[in-house]
Amino acid sequence: MCGIVGYIGSKNCVPIILEGLRRLEYRGYDSAGIAVIRDDKFFIQKNAGKVADLAAALGKADGSLFSHVGMGHTRWATHGEPNDVNAHPHWDQKKQIALVHNGIIENYLAIKTKLLRDGHVFLGATDTEVLAHLIGVMFDECGDLATAVRLALSEVQGTYGIVVISPRDPQRIVAARRGSPLLIGVGDGENFVASDASAIVSHTRQVLYLDDGEIADVTCDHVRTMTIEDVDTQKTVHEVTLELSQIERGGFDHFMLKEIHEQPQTIHDAMRGRLLVDEGDVKLGGLQNTLGRLLSARRLILTACGTSWHAALVGEYMLEQIARIPTEVEYASEFRYRDPVINVDDVVLLISQSGETADTLSALRDAKSKGATVLGIVNVVGSSIARESHGGVYVHAGPEIGVASTKAFTSQLTVLALITILLARARGMARERGQVLARELASLPEKVDAVLSDTSTIQQIAREFKDARNFLYLGRGSNFPVALEGALKLKEISYIHAEGYPAAEMKHGPIALIDRNMPVVFIVPRDGIYEKVISNIQEVRARKGRIIAVANEDDSEIDKMAEFVIRVPHTYGFFGPILNIIPLQLLAYYMAVERGTNVDQPRNLAKSVTVE
């Protein structure tokens, strides 16, 4: 969600913090700010808008600003509208405490009411400002910044990743985490705090990941970590393998387009060293210790949010029809609140690009508390879901900067296909059958590359329909989730209303919307239900809907029925979504470009949603 960068050391922290904030812009935000300590006083600048606006304001305010300690923040509004006042950092001017915060303080109103009675004055409407004042009260009582933070957080309910500084203790940064990711970058005579390694990777690759309920007391040459109960914790230093080239556009106009075109490689990376084509089998080291529980599971439950939920729906088709394991799919945001019946012989697979999605992480903890085996399918190494699961599989898509997920989705589908083959073979599927599936899966990167080689038809469609107000996406079987995902992509970045439906369900309501102004996208591969989808296409034609078809290269019949046809290579049915989503990602991208929207940072969206 929001972005945090902090620095303490011998260098000027201002350019380091601004660089880090720019690298976090992809996460989505509506305001940005910075707080530094110089001459034993705060200098704070914050603005609604972009990091560039903040940098310009800093230049006007004090172009020679120099400080050895400071912090910055990009905000995505939760409490209080996005404006200059509600932007972070927040501070208690009287007690000289400033902090930046990712997350939500759920009991802030009760705390604020008490502080108001005690004479505190608040400038904005955020929960974060309340926490700054509470820490100030504790600092007055104990005289130690780290202790003050620890005592204040013992009264807090909610989620947070916070960084705190004070001119009353100018050689220290205090950071704490509960439910919102935070890491410490370890340098030589300098240390960093960040919500994402991409913010600091140009300065250090040595990081400590804070766990929930941990606090870090950071000086320029020392890091102490402890629990809220003041028990020291021992942390392992991890080496970040992220390369700067992975978080730069590399000649593409947008990160999203770059990431769409990276998919032949990222799909290959998801399979590399795991898919054993000659044996018709799969090896997944992250599942080795839990394979027995997977094979004896009464049922599998896949839970996720957004795009990852669509991947889970495809996984349900794969796992039930190939591995023959009863499988259910749940919205993580609803899962824990309906008190689901979970048994010790259930296995819950949690899918999340970031590994920090608050709803999915809550579902993990709920299922784990009820005795289920929990497994993560995530992209970010060292993320909370990865660390709290009993096992799992990384999708190896690399950093995904565009807010609208593309390559992570196809990598998730690839990993789900690998898990399906692994379980099917372990449950008795013949080697020859496994070889057929493995060969086809191995061929997908080349086939995706073929789809990406010619986007002229998709660009023509985007020009034709850029002013449309509604779209309908229809598919059947495992391509129904593709229709959902295609519609979501269009909504996210072009701001056109779009809905995905099972094609057969169209006649049970949505058909009322069909007229000559309604573009309808059909995913219609030549598979076992091809003729059924053709019948649905005829129903739309009869009502003069404008038909766009995603169809196989060898399908000559579709040209007679569709106004536009986007061609994709043929593949085995349950791998089809990996290919069929590619043109729909491109369609959403080119529609957004035609409409002039912010492709990589669509309004109101954040890359990693770390609040419930």
Side chain identity at 76, as an amino acid letter?
Answer: W
Cβ atoms within 10 A of the Cβ of 241, count? 11
- CA 436 vs CA 272, 275, 336: distances in Å: 17, 12, 39
Catalytic residue, candidates 2, 13, 220, 305: 2
Alpha-carbon gap, residue 438 to 428, rounded angstroms: 16
Question: What is the C-alpha to C-alpha distance for residues 189 and 222, in angstroms, rounded to an integer?
Answer: 9
Per the annotation, the verdict on 305 as an active-site residue is no
How far apart are alpha carbons 306 and 294 in whole angstroms?
25
Alpha carbon distance 353, 331 (integer Å): 15
CA dist., res. 112 & res. 315, Å (int): 46
Residue 420 and residue 280 in contact, taking contact as beta carbons nearer than 8 Å: no
The total of other beta-carbon atoms located within 10 Å of residue 368's CB is: 16
For residues 327 and 299, the answer to whether their CB atoms sit within 8 Å is: yes
Q: Do residues 105 and 158 lie in contact, with contact meaning Cβ atoms separated by under 8 Å?
A: yes
**How many Å is the Cα radius of gyration of the chain?**
26
If 0-12 CB within 10 Å is exposed, 13-18 middle and 19+ buried, where does residue 556 land?
Answer: exposed
For residues 529 and 452, what is the distance between their CA atoms, to the nearest angstrom?
Answer: 26
What are the structure tokens assigned to 178, written together? 């509960």
**Count of other CB atoms within 10 angstroms of residue 282:** 25
Q: Which of 560, 472, 485, 477 has its CA nearest to residue 519?
A: 472
Query: What whole-number distance in Å separates Cα of residue 136 and Cα of residue 545?
Result: 63
Say which of 46, 112, 489, 607 is annotated catalytic. 607
Cβ atoms < 10 Å from Cβ of 264:
20
In sequence order, what are the beta bridge partners of 100?
163
Q: Which amino acid is at 133?
A: H
Look at the chain and count its residues: 612
Cβ(210)–Cβ(216) below 8 Å: yes
CB burial of 283-309 (b: ≥16 within 10 Å; e: otherwise) equals ebebbeebeebbeebeebbbbbbbbbb
Spatial CA neighbour of 494 closest among 595, 400, 368:
595
User: Is 13 a residue of the active site?
Assistant: no
Cα 440 from chain centroid (whole Å): 29
Residue 265's CB: how many other CB atoms inside 10 A? Answer: 16
Q: What is the DSSP letter of 401?
A: -
Q: Enumerate the active-site residues.
A: 2, 607
